């Protein structure tokens, strides 16, 4: 990208953020401005003939379409009325949010409350009271979730309609390797782990205080993030190399909320966190209940037991049970599972069940289930049957950035039993 350039994210220093009150003066000093969804309404650059084009990267997993469109209008005038953009497809792996009706959403959260009350031990007499949300909190969740789901499900359609309304004509460019290229262009890359000061608890509290008061520098924000990663998430029994720490730190800067959520999921699965009432948000207790039941059926110790072998018979039996529990899993995880269509004369139980299992695992942690590479054929009644076992593996194609990120997390974060 042309120099000089300015990057604005949640880690940008507060001194720079305060200068956004005069965006014309601030932006005029740069040839390139890169920003995330943290920059929306209230910041306007009105200077003509300064920036050439607009480049945007959309994802159904990030901000809603409204916020992304607001971000696209921060620069009022371009030399060329051209927008280059890339977008993730509607589906995120094998999972999807698809509930739009408010009454259905209300039923979901009421069902979560009921599940929480039924699953809690009787020795906790206060749980029933804690598991009941006030009506206004229920409806707040319903309206927020409805907007998120509609935006994610109809993202591509909404984008096309918005761009057409703005007068853009669509010209498709080659998308070969586009997503991989965009991932490597993320604004957080190449922050040198060793250049971020390692501080003690007192210094971290001071930096955190400056962040909370809106007085933090960019270095303060990196210090707070590094301290949290090193002291709250890292496995104390592992000693990653400096290069591995650097890679993990940069991945954490980009995917912080996702990684923290998955780490908490796994610690909860292993009962390393106290039971919590998460009806309103994550509903982690209900999810962990299903995860443990699935692991018991598959005869594996836990959901992240990489290289654990799953017998063909156990897999088939579990898939049958999963298909029966599909609706319960969908409600607990808030997902829609994309399943293969049935074929006449072909038993699709294992294939369809495994798609649901991987949808659940993709939402929960860092792994998925795959068929073992070495086939095992068993002859029964003169007919060969495929009895190839399955394995729990790190999620993502072996050469992808997703696989590398998940491997780093499993190798060095404290997520084991």
Annotated domain spans of the chain: 5-88, 90-153+255-417, 184-247
Q: Any idea which of 131-135, 175-179, 299-303 has the lowest mean pLDDT?
A: 175-179
pLDDT at 241 over 90: yes
Q: What pLDDT is attached to residue 181?
A: 44
Q: Which of 282, 255, 300 is nearest to 417 (CA)?
A: 300
Burial per residue of 34-44, b for 16 or more beta-carbon CB atoms within 10 angstroms, e otherwise: bbbeebbeebe
The yes-or-no verdict on residue 261 having pLDDT over 80 is yes
Are the CB atoms for 236 and 29 separated by under 8 Å? no
Q: Which of 363, 400, 402, 371 is nearest to 266 (CA)?
A: 363
* 311-325 mean pLDDT: 92
For residues 90-106, give the mean pLDDT: 65
Which of 36-50, 69-83, 106-120, 155-169 shows the lowest per-residue confidence on average (mean pLDDT)? Answer: 106-120
Task: Tell me which residue has tokens 């598991």.
Answer: 131
Highest mean pLDDT among 150-159, 191-200, 336-345: 191-200
Task: Report the pLDDT value the prediction gives residue 299, as an integer from 0 to 100.
Answer: 95
Supply the pLDDT for residue 180: 45
What's residue 281's pLDDT? 54
Confidence of residue 318 (pLDDT cuts 50, 70, 90): very high
- Measured CA to CA, the distance from residue 322 to residue 199 in angstroms comes to 48
The span from the CA of 414 to the CA of 394, in Å, is 16
Distance CA 213, CA 215 (A): 6
Rounded to the nearest 10°, the torsion over CA 131, 135, 140, 146 is 90
Q: What three-state secondary structure class fits 234?
A: strand
Encode pLDDT of 172-182 as tens digits.
555 444 444 44
**Axis-axis angle for helices 284-298, 349-364 (nearest 10):** 140
Q: Is the pTM of this model over 0.75?
A: no
The mean predicted confidence, pLDDT, of the chain is: 80
Q: pLDDT band at 131, cuts 50/70/90?
A: low
Give the pLDDT of residue 322. 92
Three-state secondary-structure class, residue 283: coil
Helix (H) or strand (E) holding 70: helix 65-72
pLDDT for 184 equals: 42
Higher-confidence position of 184 and 416 = 416
pLDDT classification of 143: cutoffs 50, 70, 90: confident
Rounded CA separation 102/81 (Å): 39
Most confident by average pLDDT, 96-105, 171-180, 239-248 = 239-248
Provide DSSP, 171-189: -----TTHHHHHHHT-TTT
Highest mean pLDDT among 28-42, 67-81, 220-234: 220-234
Portion of the chain with pLDDT greater than 90, in percent: 32
The phi-psi region of residue 345 (left if phi > 0; otherwise alpha if psi is between -120 and 50; otherwise beta) is left
Report the alpha-carbon distance of residue 279 to residue 256 in Å, rounded: 23
- Give the pLDDT confidence score for residue 339 in this predicted structure: 60
Burial classification of residue 378, based on how many CB atoms lie within 10 Å of its CB (0-12 exposed, 13-18 middle, 19 or more buried): exposed
Q: 94 CB contacts (<8 Å, ≥6 apart)?
A: 337, 338, 355, 358, 359, 362
- Between 81 and 232, the more confident residue is 232
Structure tokens at 69: 């469109």
Q: Specify the range with the lowest mean pLDDT, choosing from 14-18, 112-116, 338-342, 366-370.
A: 338-342
pLDDT exceeds 70 at position 88? no
- Of the listed ranges 42-46, 122-126, 233-237, 355-359, the one predicted with least confidence: 122-126
Helices 256-269, 349-364: axis angle to 10 degrees equals 110
320 — pLDDT class (breaks 50, 70, 90): very high
CA distances from 225 to 69, 231, 262, 312, 411 (A): 29, 10, 17, 43, 19
Q: What is the pLDDT of residue 331?
A: 77
Contact between 88 and 60 under an 8 Å Cβ cutoff? The reply is yes
Whether the pLDDT of residue 134 is over 90: the answer is no
> Is the pLDDT reported for residue 295 higher than 80?
yes
In the chain, the percentage of residues whose pLDDT exceeds 70 is 80
Residue 194 confidence (pLDDT): 93
Q: pLDDT category, 161, cuts 50, 70, 90?
A: confident
- On the question of pLDDT at 405 being above 90, the answer is yes
Q: How confident is residue 249, by pLDDT bands cut at 50, 70 and 90? A: very high
């Amino acid at each position: 990208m042309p120099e000089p350039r300015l990057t604005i994210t949640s880690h940008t220093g507060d001194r720079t953020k305060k200068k956004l009150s005069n965006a014309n003066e601030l932006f005029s000093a740069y040839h390139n401005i890169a920003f995330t969804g943290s920059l929306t309404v209230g910041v306007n650059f009105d200077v003509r003939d300064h920036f050439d084009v607009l480049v945007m990267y959309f994802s159904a997993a990030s901000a809603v379409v409204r916020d992304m469109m607001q971000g696209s209008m921060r620069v009022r005038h371009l030399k060329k009325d051209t927008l280059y953009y890339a977008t993730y497809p509607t589906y995120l792996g094998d999972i999807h949010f698809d509930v739009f009706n408010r009454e259905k959403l209300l039923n979901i959260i009421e069902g979560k409350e009921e599940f929480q009350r039924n699953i809690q031990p009787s020795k906790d007499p206060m749980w029933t009271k804690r598991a009941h949300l006030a009506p206004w909190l229920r409806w707040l969740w319903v309206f927020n979730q409805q907007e998120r789901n509609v935006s994610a499900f109809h993202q591509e359609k909404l984008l096309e309609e918005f761009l057409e309304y703005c007068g853009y004509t669509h010209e498709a460019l080659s998308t070969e390797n586009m997503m991989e290229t965009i991932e490597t262009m993320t604004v957080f890359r190449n922050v040198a782990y060793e250049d971020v000061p390692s501080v003690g608890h007192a210094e971290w509290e001071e930096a955190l205080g400056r962040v909370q008061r809106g007085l933090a520098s960019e270095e303060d924000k990196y210090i707070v993030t590094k301290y949290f990663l090193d002291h709250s998430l890292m496995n104390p029994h592992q000693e990653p190399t400096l290069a591995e720490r650097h890679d993990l730190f940069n991945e954490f800067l980009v995917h912080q909320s996702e990684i923290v959520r998955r780490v908490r999921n796994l610690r909860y699965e292993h009962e390393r966190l106290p039971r919590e009432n998460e009806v309103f948000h994550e509903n982690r207790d209900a999810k962990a209940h299903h995860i443990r039941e699935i692991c018991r059926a598959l005869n594996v110790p836990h959901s992240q037991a990489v290289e654990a072998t799953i017998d063909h018979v156990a897999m088939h039996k579990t898939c049958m049970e999963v298909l029966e529990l599909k609706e319960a899993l969908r409600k607990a995880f808030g997902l829609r599972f994309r399943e293969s269509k049935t074929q006449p004369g072909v038993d699709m139980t294992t294939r369809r069940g495994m798609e649901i299992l991987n949808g659940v695992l993709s939402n929960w942690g860092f792994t998925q289930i795959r068929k073992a590479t070495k086939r095992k054929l068993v002859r029964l009644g003169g007919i060969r049957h495929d009895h190839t076992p399955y394995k729990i593996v790190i999620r993502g194609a072996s050469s992808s950035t997703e696989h590398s990120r998940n491997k780093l997390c499993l190798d060095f974060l404290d997520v084991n039993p």
